[in-house]
Amino acid sequence: MGGHSHWSTIKRQKGASDAKRGQLFTKLSKEITVAAREGGGDPNANPRLRLAIDKARENNMAADTIKRAIDRGAGAGEGEALVEATFEGYGPGGVAILLQVVTDNRNRSVSEIRTTLARNGGNLGEAGSVAWQFESVGFIALEPGDADPEEVALVAIDAGAQDVRTEGGIVEVYTAPTELDKVRRALAESGLKVASAELSMLPKNTLPLDEHAAGQVLRLLDVLEDLDDVQKVYSNADFPDSVLMEYAAAAQ
């Protein structure tokens, strides 16, 4: 499991230093708009919207931009009709890949994803082909600072966490999807630094890869994440430490 989890940690660190701010803001705006449309424009009554706004603020999105995204979703602003979709496929080595998409043109999204997978040793699967290999969870990344990670883990469990893991100096907290916001609030109120909090898809089992396949899969996942319509990418890949070290160095 460590190889999969460590990739997620490196990906977050890579994203923090990524220069593609415009693309990031577009994806964050889409999430805010969809969250407001589905649950209303009041973040106090809409946990998904509150999480989306928090993530946008963490990435220094302007308040006016956040407000416009909320207004679009709540029906107070002009904008394209966005729809959510999930696509499933396979990568090199038979790795299962799950893609969460927000788009105003489903046909375009399907075409881009199919082409990207095919060019990188993968293929698009049928609905349900890999989704059963993942489970929906709430995910919180904590930066323990000088605190003992074991003590931080106990605080998280007391707050309602289902599982806690430590990877690369980050304490990873997993919750039931419906408990994510409650646990996040409890951890923040206890004085812990919440680096990120989001709904995620966790593989029930991981697939170990050799170095060659691991390198191919990492490149494919990066290309998929760069597609404008793709919000999140998940896989069941378990990467060798040697490949992850090279990936982490390239992310600096």
Residue 198 DSSP SS3: strand
* Cα distance between residue 154 and residue 152, in whole Å: 5
Output DSSP code: residue 46. Answer: -
Cα separations in angstroms, 190 against 148, 154, 221, 248: 14, 12, 35, 31
Per-residue confidence of the chain (252 residues) as pLDDT tens digits?
A: 444 555 666 665 555 555 566 788 899 999 999 999 999 999 999 999 999 999 999 888 999 999 999 999 988 656 568 899 999 999 999 999 999 999 999 999 999 999 999 999 999 999 999 999 999 999 998 888 888 888 888 999 999 999 998 876 778 999 999 999 999 999 999 988 888 899 999 999 999 999 999 999 999 999 999 999 999 999 999 998 888 888 877 766
Cα separations in angstroms, 91 against 98, 114, 206, 221, 237: 10, 11, 13, 9, 9
CATH 1.20.1300.10: does it fit domain 2-74?
no
Token pair 């290309």 is found at: 223
Report which of 200, 168, 198, 166 is spatially closest to residue 184, judged by C-alpha positions. 198
With b meaning 16 or more CB within 10 Å and e meaning fewer, what string describes 88-104? bbbbbbebbbbbbbbbe
